[in-house]
Amino acid sequence: MTGIQSKTERLGNILTTLRSSMPELRGALIATSDGLPIAQSFSDSTDANRVAAMAATALGLGKRINDTLGAGSLSEMSVSGLNGQVFIYSVGAKGALAVVTPAGVNLGLLHMEARDAAQAVASVL
């Protein structure tokens, strides 16, 4: 074996690292900008296809809002609910990293870890 990992394996490893650094996360997913799941890691039976489609749609809308308001390139966005949050990080023009958290997660640690993961994903894609 050559030791060379495929893109899919490298992306899976990024999610594994993110999830191990923050075990309280409910899940994480890497999606293409058109809404197809590339890699995912969820604690339950979450439908990765649906999450990927919604993350790409939300990211597209966020980009349009930023463009309209002159706020520059979108880097991340969040959707909050009573029982948790979803953070969506742009990974260049090719995709998104969605991170699903329970309520009360340490946001400083989350952003530090997830932003690092998003940069790693962007370098693979």
What would the 3-class secondary structure string for 9-65 be?
A: HHHHHHHHHHHHHCCCCCEEEEEECCCCEEEEEECCCCCHHHHHHHHHHHHHHHHHH
Sheet holding 95-102, edge to edge: 37-42, 27-32, 95-102, 84-90, 76-81
Residue 43 in tokens:
């604690």
The tens-digit pLDDT sequence of the chain (125 residues) is 456 789 989 999 999 999 999 999 999 999 999 999 999 999 888 999 999 999 999 999 999 999 999 998 889 999 999 999 999 999 988 899 999 999 999 999 999 999 999 999 999 98
CATH for the 24-124 domain, from 3.40.50.2000, 3.40.1370.10, 3.40.640.10, 3.30.450.30: 3.30.450.30
pTM of the model: 0.91
Residue 30 in tokens:
């890497």
Q: Would you state the pLDDT for residue 3?
A: 61
Query: What are the residue boundaries of the structural domains of the chain, listed by start?
Result: 24-124
